[in-house]
Every structure is written in structure tokens, then in C-alpha cells.
Amino acid sequence: MKMKWFIIIVVLTGVIAFWGCGGSNATGPSPWTTELEGTWVLVDSTEVLTFTFSDTNWTILVDSFTLNGTVTLNTTVTPKHIDLLCTGSTDTSFIGTTSLGIYALNSVATACTLAMNEFGDTSPRPIVFGIDYMIILKQ
């Protein structure tokens, strides 16, 4: 009986190693690809805010104002954590600062709710939605 399970595990491991494990990408997903990968947009009556996530990088564009940097996610906690480190900006006072936040995706991952501190704010990370600055992005 133990030999049977051993053979099944070896076969499954070989299949996964040979074909990969990620959607249409035969080699599996990039080790840095996140569930936020892609472009997310908030449109309100005064401005358009665009977040773009690509691997461990992010960019925010609001009119002609741009911020970019690296993102770190913690998906093992509830709510999920997001840390944005700014490494480039049209306003140099943001460079080197971090924004701590929380996020949640809807059930089909087409909307993302974010509650974030401002860049450089040393306050604790938000812990619930609706109290701190909050936005809802659509993909």
C-alpha cells in the first residue's frame, strides 16, 4: 500500500515538473507575479487614478503626477497587507518613503478595496476598511 502512494506521488511530481503549474504559461507563473498584477483604475468626478502592478513593481499615475516603486504583499493575514515603497516620483519628497495598507479583492478579482496610510506616515497600518483613507479600484 505504501509503495502505491509512493508511485502516485512520484508520477504527480513528474507531471507538474514537466508541464508547469500556471494557467496558460507552460513554465508556471513568475515567482513575483501577484494577485494584483495588471492595471487598476479609480475614476471619480475630479480625477483618474491608475495603479499598475507588474511583478514586484508598482506605478501610480494621477493626471501628470507619477509615483513608482516596489510592492510587498502579505496574503497570509486577514485583511491582506500591502506595503508600497516609493523609489521614484515627480515629487522627490516621496522617494524613500513607504505607504502601509490593507487590501481585499472581490470574489472575481475585478475590484480591489484599499485602505492606505499616506507615504511617509509612521502611523500603524490600517486594520479595518472604512476608517482610514479608502479607495476602490476596478480592473
CB 47 within 8 Å of CB 62: yes
Residue with cell 502601509: 100
Helix (H) or strand (E) run with residue 135 in it: strand 134-138
**Is this model's pTM higher than 0.75 or not?**
no
pLDDT in tens, 81-115: 999 999 999 999 999 999 999 999 888 888 888 88
Helix (H, G, I), strand (E, B) or coil at 65: strand
Indicate the domain borders of the chain: 1-30, 32-138
What are the Cα distances from residue 52, in Å, to 107, 127, 128? 20, 24, 24
Which helix H or strand E contains 13, and what residues bound it? helix 2-19
